[in-house]
Structure 1
Amino acid sequence: MTTFHDSDSDAVHGLATRKAMLKLIPLMCAIYFMSYLDRTNVALAKAQLAADLGISAAMYGLGAGIFFIGYALLEVPSNLIAHRVGPRRWIARIAVTWGALSASMMFVQGEWSFYTLRVLLGIAEAGLFPALMYMVTLWFAPKDRAVAIGWIYTAPAIALVIGNPLGGALMQLNGAGGLHGWQWMFLLEGLPSVFVGILLYFKLPERPSDARWLSRAEAKALESRAVIEDHAGLTSAHWVAALKRPSTVLIGLIYFLNQVAFVGLVFFTPAMIQQMHITSPLVIGLLASCVGVGFLLGVLVLPRIHRRVKADCAYLGVLTAGPAVCAGAVLATSDPTLQIVLFAATAFFGGGVLPSYWAIAMKRLQGIHAAAGLAFINTIGLMGGFIGPYLFGMAETTTGKSASGFIVVFGAAVLGLLLVPLLARAIRTETQQPAEAAGALAQGA
């Protein structure tokens, strides 16, 4: 493999990276924006589903979270297919099928059809995020990945900022054409995903060498520093090895606890705001966008700080402690304005930390190990996406207050913080083992 070190090649790589950021990241953001919009818009329909179909808080929590079951279980096989057939084709397929199913949510008739469509939606979308992360490993050098991932994470943040008011506005169509407002919302937010998927099939290059807007030298510079491997002859044993790495498992567990807290917050913020005696769907949507604002600020600011920090795990510990502090403050106050500010602060830490998980993992996973290992981390994490809304729903059912879900946020953050020192130890051990093996080989020679 050719490695570039001189100043000329640095300049070529820098220019190519800027081009990739400008050309590739917007396409990746577009598809992730639509996926997040379509998976979370159900939060705005919670009250109407209860009124129109009798779906309780506990049923809603189960249905909101059950999306992540099929999504999580199919992450690894889906990303291995993306590795085999190419991420462009696979991402386009994912978008078309989930867009159609998201629009089909307008046909929900009760509890079981709600559960069924949410499961199918998760199955359809499985593999999207790790496929995007795999593409990052194909295009960007390790030092640039935290920023690239941070930009990708602006998509779900913007989806929450824009999507909540947009969904609230679409809910105002209640009664038009004989449809409920929530039916219009699912239909008009699901169909565009189909068209975005078709667009990506024709516009998304899989590797730098496929991009017409890069010169041959620029493509070569990107591929060299992204450490793309030749995968010919690799078997399942190679990617199973990635799943057995302690650091991979621990990052997955910390991500799992993050998702318990963060996904629960996303799906229950509109309900918390409604219990502040606000009835207008549009106003609820506008105020619920505070979570998206905090999330957006987090993914714009925190990855850039991480880029300058050498102690990955110490930084991760600080960010993991943030939601615990915010949750304690929410539970200690009854002032609605302060609570909304704290919702945003929780999202700042809980969402802003996400690029750091992937940047830390990508330093230790390459090629097919990255395809399998990143999907495995996402699989573990996404199970938290199932458990979080369910626990939030149970907390609301028990106490009658949606904000009691912050007990879940506090507990999950504390547990995650306890795992960070174990991750630091695992990373040190994995780093020392190759060095010790090389030393022993040198002595034997």
Structure 2
Amino acid sequence: MSMERPRAGQDEAHRLATLKAMQRLLPLMCAIYFLSFIDRTNVGMAKSALQHQLGIGPETYGLGAGIFFWGYALLEVPSNLMTYRVGPRTWIARIAITWGALSAAMMFVQGDWSFIALRVLLGIAEAGLFPALMYVTTLWFAQKDRSVAVGWIYTAPSMGLIVGSILGGALLQLDGLLGLAGWQWMFLLEGLPTIVLGVILFFVFPDRPKAASWLTPGEADVLESYAAGGASPHHVKGAWLTALKQPTTLLMGLVYFFNQVGFVGLYFFAPAMVGQMHASSPFIVGLLSSSVGFGFLLGILILPRIHRHVSNDFVFLAVLTAGFAISAAVFMVIPTPAVRIALFVITAFFGGGILPIYWAVSMKRLHGVQAASGLAMINTIGLLGGFAGPYIFGLVEKSTGTSLSAFGVIVVTAVIGLALIPLLARAFHANAHAFPAVEKPA
């Protein structure tokens, strides 16, 4: 019994220190990710104005909306290496300040080429933000606490879609104030807070527990000790290549890719779709478009909790993917606006709520340096789906004359993703010896 008491006391000290760290860090981490989603998706609210005032057609809009993900994907790994080298505080602040400035600079768009160029630069500036936030969780939190931290961080993009749509609709109504168009006010007033938060982060966000003035030395020591306890040694030279060579990595990346084609396309084109339902004002367009973010939020709050009680990961993935396809198909056959708004919620519930499940399934079977390389590859493939989705949605709108028909893209890509899931399950089972699932602690 004498050996148990010190350990129990250490566990309690760690629990209290973790709670303090979460209360201090997670609001800042959620805030910066929240603003990033507002700044990357606000072009959706500006789509109609850009088309009518600057002549930016749906296919160019789709290209510009999606091309953000090219720079983001290609520079994600180098950017995260910089996070490691210079520290999260400096690098996340740099990301925020540069992307906030570029988001505000969107007010100077003059036509197709300036629109596309600024979207490329915005993706380059923001590259590495999400991996940097994940890296921070490994420095501060034990393995058992990371899912809680990541869950809270994932609420930020869903809230960004909700608040961003409503706020964007309100700012568009400033049209003509001081000679600026409503979309110019929106880009300016949504970019500036990101710059301010970046400056704040530089001064208040500690790199690691021992740099936090609000922790005692004992609290910092116990946090770093438990966080390091989840790390795996990297013994084998070239071990990071192992995950990249596995079919499981490619197949999971492809399943994620096809999800992102449909889901990213949906949230970039939702305001245009609502506008084509004859919404009466930009504010109403924004309010109704927020239904996508609301469905996303419900999905990430509910589905991971159900997943805890599911024995077969791949059946669960298949059910959610089928729900994504079916809700989109129902949208296409029921023209009633009220029903379609409800189907925005349901479709986003499945399409967005499945995202934490992808990472939970992958992280269960990838460890140490293999996890670093494998998860980065899966995310990079998915980000390319984020480029393809808006571009394909734009092409469909151009050819059909309505963005609402792009729900057919969701149906097709979800069905392809559904067809890949049995192959993914087979690949995971075949490679179980290389990537055994992590067992829950007793």
Name the structure 2 match of 1:19.
20
Q: Which deviations, in whole Å up to 9, do the C-alpha atoms of 1:319-351 show, x marking residues without a partner?
A: 222211111110121111011101111111111
- Contact 1:228–1:366 (8 Å) recurs in 2: no
Q: How many angstroms does 1:368 deviate by?
A: 4.8
Inter-partner Cα distance in structure 1 for 2:215 and 2:249: 33
12 and 382 in structure 1: CA distance in 2 versus 1, 3 angstrom threshold: same
- Are positions 1:156 and 2:161 aligned together? no
What secondary structure sits across from 2:42 in the alignment? helix
Listed as ranges, the gaps of 5+ residues in structure 2 are 437-442
Inter-partner Cα distance in structure 2 for 1:333 and 1:121: 37
Q: Which deviations, in whole Å up to 9, do the C-alpha atoms of 1:244-283 show, x marking residues without a partner?
A: 3433333222221111011100011111111111141011
Name the structure 2 match of 1:82.
83
What secondary structure sits across from 2:433 in the alignment? helix
- Contact 1:137–1:362 (8 Å) recurs in 2: no
Q: Which moved more, 1:298-307 or 1:92-101?
A: 298-307
What secondary structure sits across from 1:432 in the alignment? coil
Matches within 5 A, 1:12-411: 12-215=13-216, 218-226=219-227, 227-229=229-231, 237-366=238-367, 368-411=369-412
RMSD of the TM alignment (CA)?
A: 2.5
Inter-partner Cα distance in structure 2 for 1:244 and 1:208: 36
205 and 233 in structure 1: CA distance in 2 versus 1, 3 angstrom threshold: farther
- Contact 1:88–1:204 (8 Å) recurs in 2: yes
TM-score (norm 2): 0.90
Aligned length: 431
Q: Which moved more, 1:31-40 or 1:226-235?
A: 226-235
What secondary structure sits across from 2:335 in the alignment? coil
Inter-partner Cα distance in structure 1 for 2:263 and 2:359: 16
Q: How many angstroms does 1:399 deviate by?
A: 1.4
Inter-partner Cα distance in structure 2 for 1:213 and 1:249: 43
- Contact 2:142–2:230 (8 Å) recurs in 1: no
- Contact 1:263–1:389 (8 Å) recurs in 2: yes
Inter-partner Cα distance in structure 2 for 1:324 and 1:121: 31
Identity, in percent, stands at: 61
- Contact 1:76–1:379 (8 Å) recurs in 2: no
Inter-partner Cα distance in structure 1 for 2:209 and 2:432: 30
238 and 213 in structure 1: CA distance in 2 versus 1, 3 angstrom threshold: farther
Name the structure 2 match of 1:431.
432
Q: How many angstroms does 1:153 deviate by?
A: 1.4
The aligned amino acid for 1:112 is W
What secondary structure sits across from 1:289 in the alignment? helix
- Contact 1:298–1:349 (8 Å) recurs in 2: yes
- Contact 2:234–2:368 (8 Å) recurs in 1: no
Q: How many angstroms does 1:81 deviate by?
A: 2.1
330 and 67 in structure 1: CA distance in 2 versus 1, 3 angstrom threshold: same
- Contact 1:70–1:120 (8 Å) recurs in 2: yes
Listed as ranges, the gaps of 5+ residues in structure 1 are 436-445
Inter-partner Cα distance in structure 1 for 2:15 and 2:97: 34
The aligned amino acid for 1:56 is G
Inter-partner Cα distance in structure 2 for 1:179 and 1:16: 49
The aligned amino acid for 1:281 is P
